[in-house]
Structure 1
Amino acid sequence: MTVLGYAALLLGVLMLGLVGGFWLAHARHRYDRNRPQGPTVAELLQRLVHSTNNGVVVLNRFGDVVVHNPRADELGFITDNRADARAREAAEQALESGEPVTVDLSPRERTALAGRTPSAVHGEARPLGDGFAVVDAADESDAVRLEATRRDFVANVSHELKTPVGALALLAETVLDAADDPEEVRHFATKILHESTRLGTLVSELIALSRLQGAESLPELNTVDVDGVVEEALERCRVSAESAGIDITVDESSDLLLDGDRTLLVTALSNLVDNAVSYSPDGSPVSISRRLNGDFVEIAVTDRGIGIEPEDQQRVFERFFRVDPARSRATGGTGLGLAIVKHVAANHGGEVALWSRPGTGSTFTLRVPRHSASESETVPAAEDAPTADAASAAEPGGAVAAVHSMVESVDGFRAVETGGVR
């Protein structure tokens, strides 16, 4: 081949290379332009596993951890990249049976792990095929605590209702046996009246507590005069305080206003005052003070009573908890008063605080947000708010009212029959 032929061949190869390179560059540009932007499916799956609130771990047939998310470490069934023995066993069973296997992965040493891991972790192991299994676990601590609270509440209500109902039955039998003795009838009828009153109070407070717990917040807020709330609460507790010889002192009028439900606030404050009277020695003082602290109105009730042990101070707001059960039952207490106070404060966007020292006394402070409207608004008159009698009349206590009526009828009949005066 001549030199000219070689040159032509070389030129052709060069041209083909240039055209091929241009075509490849153009094709790559089109591929990059048409390729979907953003993460791949694998990356999205990884993000999903890492963001889920459940703990997820994939194990192979030997029980080794292939992949897991941080939540599995937080829930405590993955430690140092090793799965809990219960998770490995459940995964092995799932691989053998080909069916999901439930597993309890709750921490064995609750005290050592307190504050780091949940108290109840339940999961499920599922086979993935090819010798791999996934363990998916969730924190169910809140559900377990809620169920325990529900069981305790049902048990406590049953016990508390059983006592006065049983007493009413026994007293009624005694009245029947003593039908020919007017004095005995009157004596036991008075006891029936006392037990029916206690039963009515318990039912009313259970209904009130149920309503408070079911409400996220108060639907309507009215402007409430704090001084009026204090006066009405004092009026409700005056008889019990006078019977115990307890003098309740009150600071000067404050003219403070807050937004809320007057009836609920009076109920909460009267519960605090009644609690102070019940747990104070006869003749000891009880005081009520009010002040504005930042954006909150604080009403404090202080007594010089038996005080509360530190380990009981967080529990006094639990339903049916009593610091001194014998004293509370003797005074007719239901164990629901402070629970109602707690929920009234919470529904008003506030709280109730406690300071106490055994042998010295206690101070309960009801903190509620101050009135936030303009100063030109007028305070509703006290007569606009439902009275205590009207509020109690609205409670569905027909059965208890019937007991009262029957007792009074029996007592009155015996008095007329024997010519006595009630």
Structure 2
Amino acid sequence: MKKSNDLILHIFIFVTAQLAWFLLLGLWIYWYVTNYILLNKVGGKISPQIITGTTNIIALVSGIVLLVMLSISMSLIFVYLNRQLNLTRLYDNFIANVSHELKSPLSSIQLYLETMHKMPVPRDKQHEFLNLMLKDVKRLNHLINSILYLSSLEQKKMVKQVTYDYYVYNADSIIRQVIGEALSEFKFPGKSVSIEGHVDCQCVIDRNWLKIVIKNLIDNAVKYSPNKAQIDIRLSTGTKKFYIEFSDQGVGIAPRNQKKIFSKFERIYNPASPNVKGTGLGLYWVKQIVAYHGGKISVESAGLNRGTTFKIALPIYEVSKKRYINRLLRLSKKYKPAMKVSDE
């Protein structure tokens, strides 16, 4: 309700300001026209030196241009402020979600430790408690890393501060290997994930960041599939790029929300999965990491409950974006003992 009231207030202020500008412009034109008519009536009785029509026209045109410029400037300021207010709202939601996500595992760890401290616990139960606490620690570590990743991405220094591990790989081999590593962290039945196609080319990637991309897309498919997740991964090669497509049979994305999902802190509510938790950063990272590799990511969905397909396009080495990719390789060589060329 508060968001709706704020939006109405901002729109009211903007419209009022615009009306004020147009009213001033109207008064200005009225003043010029009335003076022009008056001068025409009494023009014969006044010395020609006094009548300066050109000056009046210049003043009128200058005033109109100034008012138009002010109006455009105000419109741009309004759009910018509206975006900042929306970002602030999303940031507040992010803080609330992260606070809850941090508190939950900490409370769980505290409970297990207090139980073990205050009373004797059988050895088998101790192992169970330790495993649960390790699980909560991993969850906390993931959240903390999420915040660190966000910080590095925001400063546009992900490559510079975090890693310079861009190397030349056989695209098909490294993609299948990284997908296998990512899938090992999820519990999937044998036939719930399929990989089709091949990419017979070389690429330049950071395998650690590629793994984060793939893990986020798999995690997304799992979270937003009410029934058992079915993920179809397709690999293909174009003229200058190769493609990785992730398709699921989940809840889908409404067309109006498909552009929003890559925005920072953005979380789209879906009635089919109302209890899904998250920070709203996963797909934002995915888009940024793919961009740092010189690629692009897009999303396709026929609508709600009709599944989603994410398509990643990455440049083929020595064919596309040579200058950018070679720069990544030079920097990797500079910050590492030796550059690795792998056929993994």
TM-score band by shorter chain is 0.5 to 0.7
Contact persistence 1:244–1:282 (CA under 8 A): no
| Mapping of residues 183-198 of structure 1, within 5 Å | 183-198=124-139
* Number of matched pairs: 264
User: Contact 2:221/2:229 (CA < 8 Å) preserved in 1?
Assistant: no
For the 8 Å contact 1:247–1:285, the answer to whether it is kept is yes
Provide the residue aligned with 1:73 in structure 2.
Answer: 71
Aligned counterparts of 1:325 and 1:119: Cα–Cα separation in 2: 35
8 Å contact kept, 1:233–1:267 = no
Q: Is the 8 A contact 1:301 1:363 kept in 2?
A: yes
SS in structure 1 at match of 2:197? coil
Partner Cα distance (2:267, 2:118) in 1: 37
C-alpha distance in structure 1 between counterparts of 2:307 and 2:183, whole Å: 20
Partner of 1:251: 196
> CA 1:230–1:145 in 2, change beyond 3 Å: closer, same or farther?
same
1:320–1:336 CA contact under 8 A, matched in 2: yes
Question: CA 1:143–1:200 in structure 2 vs 1: closer, same or farther (change >3 Å)?
Answer: same
* Aligned match of 1:32: none
Whether the aligned pair in 1 keeps the contact of 2:242 and 2:313 (CA below 8 Å) is yes
What amino acid is the match of 2:207? R
Q: Distance in 1 between matches of 2:108 and 2:152?
A: 28
Pick from 197, 208, 212 the counterpart of residue 149 of structure 2: 208
Counting only pairs closer than 5 Å after superposition, residues 231-310 of structure 1 correspond to structure 2 as 231-240=176-185, 242-244=187-189, 246-280=191-225, 285-310=230-255
- Look up the SS of the partner of 1:321 in the other structure: coil
Q: Looking at secondary structure, tell me which structure has more helix per residue.
A: 2
How many percent identity over aligned positions? Answer: 26
The residue identity in structure 1 corresponding to 2:150 is: L
- The higher-RCO structure (CA 8 Å, 6+ apart) is 2
Q: CA deviation at 1:369?
A: 2.7
What's the C-alpha RMSD, in Å, of the aligned pairs? 4.0
Aligned partners of 2:290 and 2:297 also within 8 Å:
yes
Cα contact 1:241–1:277 (8 A) shared by 2:
no
Gaps of 5+ in 2: 1-17, 22-26, 29-59, 327-338
1:341 to 264, 286, 293: 286
Alignment CA distance shift 1:120-1:175 (3 Å): farther
Amino acid at match of 2:289: V
Cα pair distance change 1:147/1:309, threshold 3 Å: closer
Please say if residues 303 and 363 of structure 1, whose CA atoms lie closer than 8 Å, have aligned partners that are also in contact: yes
Deviations 1:342-374 (A, max 9, x none): 111222233221112332321111122332359
Return the alpha-carbon distance in structure 1 between the equivalents of residues 205 and 315 of structure 2. Answer: 9
> Which residue of structure 2 aligns with residue 163 of structure 1?
104
Whether the 8 Å CA contact 1:156–1:320 is kept in 2: the answer is: no
Secondary structure in 2 matching 1:360:
coil
Q: Does 2:311 match 1:365?
A: yes
Q: Distance in 2 between matches of 1:142 and 1:180?
A: 54
Q: Deviations over 1:97-140 (max 9, x none)?
A: xxxxxxxxxxxxxxxxxxxx34638xxxxxxxxxxxxxxxxx65
Per the alignment, residue 342 of structure 2 pairs with 381
Q: Distance in 1 between matches of 2:228 and 2:87?
A: 42
Unaligned ranges ≥5, structure 1: 1-54, 59-63, 77-116, 122-138, 384-422
Which of structures 1 and 2 has the bigger CA Rg? Answer: 1
Tell me which residue corresponds to 1:228. 173
TM-score in terms of structure 1 length: 0.51
Q: Distance in 1 between matches of 2:217 and 2:86?
A: 28
Q: Distance in 2 between matches of 1:153 and 1:306?
A: 23
- Partner Cα distance (1:295, 1:193) in 2: 45
Determine the C-alpha separation between the residues in 2 that align with 1:343 and 1:366: 12
Deviations 1:313-355 (A, max 9, x none): 34433437365353x45xxx66533222111122223322111
What amino acid maps onto 2:147 in structure 1? L
Change (3 A) 1:283 1:234: same
Q: Given the alignment of the two structures, is residue 174 of structure 1 paired with residue 115 of structure 2, yes or no?
A: yes
Asked if the contact 2:108/2:136 (under 8 Å) is kept, the reply is yes
Quickly say closer, same or farther: Cα 1:284–1:203, change in 2 above 3 A: closer
Query: Residue 380 of structure 1 aligns to a residue in which SS?
Result: coil
Q: 4+ residue runs of structure 1 moved beyond 6 angstroms?
A: none
Shift of 1:281: 5.8
Q: Distance in 2 between matches of 1:298 and 1:281?
A: 27
Aligned with residue 353 of structure 1, among 298, 309, 316: 298
- The 1:148/1:242 distance shift into structure 2, 3 A limit, reads closer
Q: CA deviation at 1:301?
A: 0.7
C-alpha deviations, 1:223-254, integer Å up to 9, x for none? 34321332223222333555455532112332
Equivalent AA in structure 2 for residue 285 of structure 1: Q
Aligned residue in 2 for 1:120: 78
TM-score by length of structure 2 reads 0.61
Of 315-324 and 333-342, the range deviating more from structure 2: 315-324
Indicate the SS of the match to 1:120. Answer: helix
